[in-house]
A and B are shown apart, each in its own frame.
Chain A
Amino acid sequence: MAYYPHTSEEIEEMLSSLGYESIEELFEDIPKEARFNDESLLNEGTSELEVSKLMKELSEKNKTVDDYICFMGGGAYDRYIPSTVDHVISRPEFYTAYTPYQPEVSQGTLQHIYEYQTMICRLTGMDVANASMYDGASALAEAVIMAMNVSRKNKIVVPKSLNPYWLRVVKTYLLGSDAEFVMVEEKNGEIDYCDLEDKIDDDVAAVLTQYPNSFGIVENLKEIKDKFTSKKTMFVVMADPIALGLLKKPGDLGADIVVGEGQQLGIPLSFGGPYLGYFAFRKKYVRKSPGRIIGKTEDKEGKRGFVMTYQTREQHIRREKATSNICTNQGLMTVAASVYMSTLGKQGLREVAEQSYKKAHYLFNELTRIDGIKKAYPDKPFFDEFVIEVNTDLNKLKYKMKKEGYLPGIILKHQYPEKDNQLLIAVTEKRTKEEMDSFVSKIKTILKG
């Protein structure tokens, strides 16, 4: 096998230089009772050719978003990824490097992260961003932990309009802590302000808000922030990074921590991972923040350079007093995100957001003209994802639409048992008018039939 280069002569030579006759002697310190002896359970390897064939066969048993026309979102979106992204992240200089512990030979990774931090700050309107969390949901969980540590309070106010799957991750992260989750009702697809007023008090560590929310509706962050009664309560916003290409920045609307799922920034769907949890916050909280942070400095000759900084928060220094246990993060995915954001640039991100908005509204208008389909939340602003109410069995509709070659969206009942007949539909810049028109006409036919 090619991945250990030793010839049998070399093995012998090395062993005898150590005074051993066999490899087994290298393991004589392992007690007999703890040894594994059943060689028959160990299977054989195969050639690269065979593995490549096997993997191709397995991959072909899966249906991709190219086998369908995809209107499914819910946190992971079918967007166009410019060629530059994969060319950069395919460079072994990036993907076979480790965490930049030796800055003199890691300036590529370090300068990149500094640039990435800058882009995330500009996107969110925040002061500091870290070098990534595992995904959006875990970033949200870490934000809650940070908010509890900053505020020294334990009540977490969560609107029902926040993705229940992600909330489930937050709750798992907080298992064993004294966090108390207080749910705020939803009204017409957005946070119920009266209920928010009732639920909020001076003991609240954080109010969480998804922007746009899990129904695609753009929550009014400013109005939510106005209901806060304590200055210590942290406003944690989980924002869609493409929406931020169009909408006002959470940082300008009172957010203290902004996190999100970065998959849309040039990362393939890959059945949910590897994705990217971005994490940004106000400067004054930096010492309580989780994850790696890169800072600018200079070398002893005065040349600009970058280093890992504020390391005294991290587990490898601080051990049980660390702000988080995170070590390995989503480094390479931050490269993808930076290349994506740099390729699109100032105008391109706006254009992707704008096209997504316009196409989503076109489809929304066309669909809601059909008999048997109505707007679930008619008066609310949305970005590129929306909910329709369909007067039919959605499972059957979905089944039939898939047969026609469409992934028609997400049935909300799975996440919201009380919501019958509601379908969440996402539209990205990739969809064309032709695709949407035929989608509409297929649904129309099925509903008639």
Chain B
Amino acid sequence: MTELIFELTSPGRKAYTLPDCDVDVDYDDKIKDFIDEEPVNLPEVSEQDLMRHYVELSTLNFHVDKGMYPLGSCTMKYNPKINEDIARLDGFSDIHPYSADEDIQGLLEMLFDFEKDLKILTGMDKFTFQPAAGAHGELTGIKIFRKYFDNKGEDRDKIIVPDSAHGTNPATASMGGFEVITIKSNDKGCVDLDALRDAMDETVAGLYLTNPNTLGIFEEDILEIAKIVHDEGGLLYYDGANLNATMGISRPGDMGFDIVHLNLHKTFSAPHGGGGPGSGPIGVKDFLTQYLPVPVVKKDDNGNKYKLDYSLENTIGKIHGFFGNVGVVVKAYAYTKLLGLKGLKKVSEMACLNANYLKDNLKKDYYLKFNRLCKHEFVLSGKNQKAENSVKTLDIAKRMLDFGVHPPTVYFPQIVDEALMIEPTETESKQSLDNFIRIMKKIASEAKNNPETVKKAPHTTPVKRLNEAKAMRNPDLKYENE
């Protein structure tokens, strides 16, 4: 058990030094009543205590630099180290957000150039880097939906979401004030065109879609889907979580999408940081550019200076206090320059090769509901293991921890029972995939021959299975011992 930093506290101990205050000023009478006599009860530790504490905590984590992390829809690829160095250059990290345009020409040039690449990659016409994460991009998109239809004087209050969609899609639609209509997938794992036609009418603002979808299957009818939505006056929104499958191969803009978000912390190698920060720029087609949040980056009329432009006529306003997670954008830009758009195409090819290779090698051991060509990810099921030996997908996932790989996303998408959603990404080598296959096969065999080992897993982790019900029943959300 690792002690809490509060348990290491010794009153009076310090990990900081500050220069002596070189001005002689006392608190004035106006402020006196507002001052708290007692300083905030923060930890009191030495610098060495502090470093040992955080290093010890860090050793309890699994992470990409340690092993394979095949979480479906999360694109846990390797994060090139150069990204980190570049984001820490003073010229990026020490810029005040209210700096004048003339003081941030390098930064604006970068954003402008990156936008150019993203436009080619997606087939969209204009981007904003303001959204700080994928779901934040979705939120920006839904507000554009709202304002666009308000301006057209159309009263549309519903959004269609496939049952295989990420949870953020319906949650976002609700935050936009829309009612969510969920449509079922067909037996091929794709959008059911008849269900879509039935749902789509003049009260529907549009469709949220991921392509390839969360089963890793490319929506073959995408052009027909776009037509159905557009014919009824709706808009098509692209959830970019799965862009790693199709870069340089198929563009959302050409598929008919009107708004797309990208996840720079997935597809473009910016690290996930244990939950964030991300960056979720969105791109729109021409007819929606005036709705983007302000400011956007522009080149001035002479074409040699960059500036922030606040003049968008129908802007939804601002979605972030400043300009989004620019420090994350810097990493994604460096990655894009390293690989080039050609390299990104190769990324998608290798991501899909890896996924198909894993799928093919595991489908005998785990049930594969949709046995067909996949893109960058695929979904297995533990339902046979459950039926035959009462070994649940959760048990399989926990057992994987004992073998030093991270489990896939489990129990999602909800349309597959006992789902194991696997996305290896392109950065895993054949050797690493073969190792993963060996582990999965071994667990499948254990589930048959020695199910208790799997059910009681994990056996080798810093803590064993944790009591989540207790955490809910007796909520302990902060350290109370003052």
Contact = CB atoms under 8 A, between A and B. Distances in A.
B86 A55 contact: yes
Interface residues of B, number: 195
Given A23-B353, A109-B275, A326-B135, 4 more contacts: A62-B103, A103-B463, A107-B2, A176-B178
Interface stretch (B43-51, B385-393, B440-448): B43-51
Interface string B270-295: 01111111101000000000000100
Interface in A37-54: 39, 41-48, 51-52, 54
A66 B91 CA distance: 10
A407 interface: yes
B377 interface: no
B76 interface: yes
Given A107-B57, A107-B463, A433 B475 contact: no
Contacts of B468: 297, 307, 309
Given A27-B249, A328-B278, A343 B35 contact: no
Nearest to B131: A134
A346 B120 contact: no
B43 A345 contact: yes
B467 A14 contact: no
A64 B146 CA distance: 38
B254 A3 contact: no
Q: Which of B14, B89, B175, B356 has the most CB of A within 10 A?
A: B175
Interface string A100-115: 1111111111011011
B477 A299 contact: no
A55 B428 CA distance: 27
A276 B232 CA distance: 41
Interface stretch (A135-143, A153-161, A180-188, A194-202): A135-143
Interface string A114-150: 1101110111000111011011111000000100000
A358 B444 CA distance: 67
A175 to B, nearest CB: 5
A350 to B, nearest CB: 4
Contacts of A292: 275
Interface string A316-335: 11111110111111111101
A300 B80 CA distance: 38
A17 interface: yes
Contacts of B34: 218, 220, 247-248, 381
A94 B61 contact: yes
B349 A26 contact: yes
B319 A172 contact: yes
Given A59-B91, A359-B23, A298 B275 contact: no
A385 interface: no
B384 interface: no
B-side binding surface: helix, strand, loop or mixed? loop
Interface in B1-56: 1-2, 4-6, 11, 13-16, 18-19, 21-23, 25, 27-28, 30-31, 34-36, 39-45, 47, 50-51, 53-55
A342 to B, nearest CB: 5
B273 A26 contact: no
14 contacts: A36-B123, A42-B340, A43-B117, A51-B334, A52-B82, A59-B92, A97-B274, A109-B57, A114-B4, A244-B40, A248-B36, A330-B277, A380-B30, A381-B30
Contacts of B334: 51, 55
Contacts of B40: 122-123, 244-245, 249, 346, 349-350
A60 interface: yes
A94 B342 contact: no
In the A-B complex, the 3 residue pairs with the smallest Cβ-Cβ separation, listed nearest first, are A272-B322, A59-B91, A331-B275
Contacts of A346: 11, 39-44
A205 interface: no
Contacts of B470: 297-298
B273 A94 contact: yes
B133 A134 contact: yes
Contacts of B217: 29
A271 B78 CA distance: 26
Interface string B244-277: 0010111100110000000101000101111111
Given A102-B397, A269-B95, A176 B176 contact: yes
Nearest to A55: B86
B275 A172 contact: no
Interface string A431-449: 0111010000000000000
B478 A121 contact: yes
A299 to B, nearest CB: 4
Contact of B337 (A46, A327, A351): A46
B60 interface: yes
Kindly name the residue among B63, B78, B220 whose own CB sees the greatest number of chain A CB atoms within 10 A: B63
A152 interface: no
B163 to A, nearest CB: 10
A425 to B, nearest CB: 13
A101 B71 contact: yes
Given A123-B40, A342-B15, A44 B342 contact: yes
